[in-house]
Homo-oligomer: A and B are copies of this chain.
Amino acid sequence: MSNRGEEPSQSENQSQGKMDAFQLRCRKAGLKVTPQRVAVYKALIESKEHPSTDVLWRKLRKTFPNISLDTVNRTLLTLAEIGAAFVVEGSGDVKRFDGCLESHQHFKCLKCKKIIDFHHKPFDSITVPRNISEKYVVLKKTVYLEGICDLCRKRRT
């Protein structure tokens, strides 16, 4: 584990905990714990930028030169299936992923496509109307904001 200049011991432990939980989750789902999977998952949870397959792949290649784009893509889709990651909601651009499992919301800049995380407690507890929850299985409730971020507003691009 190269530990790119960041992470001292404490977060290293946290990270380790997450990795253990991840391995457990894989096994439960009947998935093998391969170096690639571990690397993809690790890179994802260390990314704060909600990377697309491509972005994560470029990053991974620095420490894992042989990993293929497909593997990254397939792994991310698999992670989403077993609930270890999410596909970020958004208005129809490239698929982007989020490895943060804690409750939070997203603001997406329409200009630079940056996604900003925030957590507003009231949004955690929104209640789905009866006529929906009776008829459909609601798996995810999301509050999602779009607009222009501070930097894009300034540079008025």
Give A residues with C-beta under 8 Å from B. 86-96, 107, 109-110, 116, 118, 120, 122-123, 126-129, 131-132, 135-150, 153
Contacts and interface: CB of A to CB of B under 8 A. Distances in A.
Nearest to A126: B143
Given A92-B90, A95-B92, A139 B132 contact: no
* Count of chain copies: 2
Contact of A147 (B90, B93, B137): B137
A132 B91 CA distance: 20
A110 B122 CA distance: 26
Nearest to A150: B135
Nearest to A127: B122
A106 to B, nearest CB: 10
**6 pairs of A and B residues whose beta carbons are closest in the complex:** A92-B95, A87-B91, A139-B147, A137-B148, A140-B146, A120-B129
A136 B109 contact: yes
